[in-house]
Amino acid sequence: MQIERPGTRPRSLRQVVADFGSVYGASALAGFIFAASGPVAIILTIATRGGLDPSDVASWLLAAS
């Protein structure tokens, strides 16, 4: 089995950094915040309705993070 060579060279790190814009950074930050806070909100809601002890809630939050 023969492996083909790529048609073009991969982009350099300098080219990747030059293409990075503030819009992409803001979108990444918003996505990270939603991904990090979503499970926390669900766990806190379930723990409140379930009447769990604070130590149980803390262990759930630690496991989720």
pLDDT tens, position by position, 19-65:
888 899 999 999 999 998 888 989 999 999 999 999 999 998 998 88
pLDDT at residue 17 in the model? 86
pLDDT at residue 18 in the model? 87
Cβ 57 vs Cβ 47: under 8 Å:
yes
pLDDT at residue 34 in the model? 92
C-alpha torsion angle, residues 26, 24, 29, 62 (rounded to 10): 170
pLDDT in tens, 6-26: 888 888 999 988 888 889 999
pLDDT at residue 20 in the model? 86
